[in-house]
Amino acid sequence: MNWKKFFIAFVAAFGFIFLFGFLWYGKLMNGAHQEVPILWRTDADFGNHFSALVFGHIVMAFFLTLVCGRFVPAGGAGACATLAILIALIYAGADLITFAVQPLTTKILCGWIAGDLIQFAIAGAIIGALYKSESRMTT
Amino acid sequence: MKRFVFAFIAAYAFIFLWGWLLNGVFLKDVYAQTPNLWRSQSEMMSLFHWIIIGQALIVFSFVMIYATGFAGGGVIAGIRLGVLLEIAAIGMRLGFYAVQPFPGKLVLYGSIGGLVEMIIVGAIVGAIYKPAGPRTP
């Protein structure tokens, strides 16, 4: 594994995932989320748990990069995006289960599933484009 | 295709049973501490088909990732895939913990349960399905 390229891909993936999450879930879906305010922490409480959000995104980006780096060692935006979309479907399955047990609206459910698919597909493509093994680079 | 279906059915049967055991029995008291965050029992039952579809989608995607040859073959490869995917899921769980007022122990126990689940799912899929070989560019 090329750790320098891995690190660059990880940082780029983290930057994208965090920014996308803020825009999609925090801004674009804010109105939908506010339809069920009982489900969310207050602003002050969210501020106290912000480190968990950052750490969670670091873990997600790191392991998505690791999965792509390990299972698609030659890199490539298309192959990594394909793998990332399959991973996003696992999260979509978890979203469906959450919908069944928590009082989410269908608008939130659809937004989360669409967000997962877009976020992972682009993050996977970024990782695949940045991470290329030595063998791929020399051919 | 036949092995794909067998792997899917076996992994699904396990995940369904484990999901009930973990969430419906072991963590029942932890969930009861935050009743406002959950649907009522009758409401959950009316939406139970979404749990079945969600679990089926998780298992289908897992077997699909394994079957496309990304992870290689064998029980160990299946377990490795399960561990990597679950650790990434723990990251997402932490994200939910930051925005939803879950008790911390629910995240901890849920993550431990999820790790056990994905290790066993990986082992089941790895034991039943034999992919052609690791994907090459």
Q: How far is the CA of A131 from the CAs of A3, A17, B81, B116, in angstroms? A: 9, 17, 19, 30
pLDDT tens-digit map of A19-49 = 999 999 999 999 999 999 999 999 999 999 9
Q: How far is the alpha carbon of B60 from chain A, nearest alpha carbon, in Å?
A: 8
Which ipTM score applies to this complex? 0.91
Residue of chain A nearest B97, judged by CA positions:
A52
Length of chain A: 139
Taking the C-alpha atoms of residue B51 and residue A45, their distance in angstroms, rounded to an integer, is 30
The ranges assigned to domains in chain A are 10-134
Q: Mean pLDDT throughout A11-16?
A: 97
Phi-psi region of A75 (alpha: psi -120 to 50; beta: other; left: phi over 0): left
Chain A residues with CB-CB distance to B19 below 8 A: 97
- Contact status, residue A93 vs residue B57, Cβ threshold 8 Å: yes
Give yes or no for A97 touching B (CB within 8 A): yes
- Higher-pLDDT residue of B46 and A136 is B46
| Residue B75 burial (10 A CB sphere; 0-12, 13-18, 19+) | middle
Model pTM? 0.90
In a 13 Å sphere around the CA of B76, the CA atoms on its Cβ side amount to 0
Could you say which DSSP state residue A75 is in? -
The dihedral sign for the CA sequence A22, A23, A29, A34: positive
Instruction: Please state, in angstroms and rounded to a whole number, the distance separating the CA atoms of residues B37 and A77.
Output: 39
pLDDT at position B73: 78
**pLDDT tens track for B52-80:** 999 999 999 999 999 887 667 789 999 99
Alpha helices in A22-105 (DSSP H): 30-33, 43-48, 50-71, 77-101
Whether the CB-CB separation of B107 and B93 falls below 8 Å is answered with: yes
Spans of all domains in chain B? 2-128
Q: Does residue B133 register a pLDDT over 80?
A: no
Among candidate residues B107, B101, B95, the one with its CA nearest the CA of residue A54: B95
Task: For A34-53, give one letter per residue: b (16+ CB within 10 A) or e.
Answer: eeeeebebeeeebeebeebb
Give the tokens for residue B125: 């899929």
Q: Which two tokens stand for residue A85?
A: 């979309």
Q: Which of A60, A93, A100 has the CB atom closest to B88's CB atom? A: A60
For an interface test with B, which of A50, A90, A113 has the most B Cβ atoms less than 10 Å from its Cβ? A90
Number of Cβ within a 10 Å radius of residue B35 = 9
Q: Cα–Cα distance between B137 and B133 in angstroms, integer?
A: 12
Distance CA A21, CA B95 (A): 10
Kindly state the tokens that stand for B25. Answer: 């029995």
State whether A49 and B97 contact (CB < 8 Å): yes
Asked whether the predicted pLDDT for residue B25 surpasses 70, the reply is yes
State pLDDT tens for residues A42-87: 999 999 999 999 999 999 999 999 998 888 878 789 999 999 999 9
The confidence score (pLDDT) of residue B134 equals 53
pLDDT at A109: 97
**What is d(CA A65, CA A114) in angstroms, rounded to the nearest whole number?**
21
